[in-house]
Amino acid sequence: MRRRQTGPADFACDPDAFEAFYRRHVDAVTRFLARRVDDPHTVADLTAEVFLAVLDSAHTYRPDRGSEIAWLYGVARNTVLAQRRRTARELRATSRIAGRRLLNTDDIARLEERVDAESPARLALEAMADLPDGDRALLELVAVDGLSPAEAAAALGIRQGTARVRLHRARRQVQRFPGVMELIGGAK
């Protein structure tokens, strides 16, 4: 969904503009996270982290360089990578908003469903684990998260030409891993 873009500064400074941005993307963000972690509490913590990171780095968003979702997936990806470098305990201790404390039982059930729904994607991501980092990052964003190659390039801050080369290489390599193409829907 591409809507009229508000300026980059707007959604970090103006609560109303932020609300619009948040509501456009919060589902996509929790799904993105549910493809990478399988625990609803961690999904909640990371959702809070991602949007706090949005406030920190909104000034880096340039509408002319890509869609909001591409930029946001870039932010989310960095947040997940940072989280993997830390333990969950550290994450909670340093976060300004503890996402999991905002959960009630209905939310947990809903996030569990979401985590379950994304289990094929998690399998696909696991299957790609052995690809070189740069190639894998592109394949993940395109084949699993559904970005276009151009958007994935914007999310990773690389040139579109570079992205195409890496994506091509990743697809070729991934064919050697049995079952991965089926998991990611092959045709993509």
Partner 1 sequence: MNDTFEDRLLAQLKAEIVAREARTRVPAVRRIARPRYLAGAAVAAAAVAAAVPLVVGGHTPAYALTKNPDGSINLKINEFRDPDQVERDLATMGVPADITYLPLGKRCADGRAPFVEGDRTSFAKKDLESRDPAVQARIRRATENLASSKAIRPENGITIHPEFIGPGQIVMIEVNENPVEPDTGHPGVAWQFSGRLAEGPVQPCRVVDDPTAFEIGNATPPPGS
| Contact residues for partner 1, defined by CB under 8 A | 12-16, 18-19, 22-23, 26, 30, 44, 47-48, 51-52, 55, 96-97, 99, 102-104, 106-107, 110-111
Q: Pick the closer one to partner 1 by CB: 19 or 126.
A: 19
How near is the Cβ of 18 to partner 1 at its closest, in Å?
6
How near is the Cβ of 46 to partner 1 at its closest, in Å?
11
Query: Are 77 and 137 a contacting pair, CB within 8 Å?
Result: yes
Cβ-Cβ contacts under 8 Å for 101 (sequence gap 6 or more): none
Q: Pick the closer one to partner 1 by CB: 30 or 67.
A: 30
Q: What is the DSSP letter of 5?
A: P
How far from 150 is each of 1, 163, 167, CA to CA, in Å?
16, 8, 11
Q: Pick the closer one to partner 1 by CB: 80 or 154.
A: 80
Calculate the CA dihedral of residues 20, 23, 28, 31 and round it to 10 degrees: 150
How near is the Cβ of 177 to partner 1 at its closest, in Å?
36
Q: Pick the closer one to partner 1 by CB: 53 or 181.
A: 53
How near is the Cβ of 22 to partner 1 at its closest, in Å?
5
Query: Are 66 and 155 a contacting pair, CB within 8 Å?
Result: yes
How near is the Cβ of 176 to partner 1 at its closest, in Å?
40
Q: Pick the closer one to partner 1 by CB: 26 or 130.
A: 26
Cβ-Cβ contacts under 8 Å for 84 (sequence gap 6 or more): none
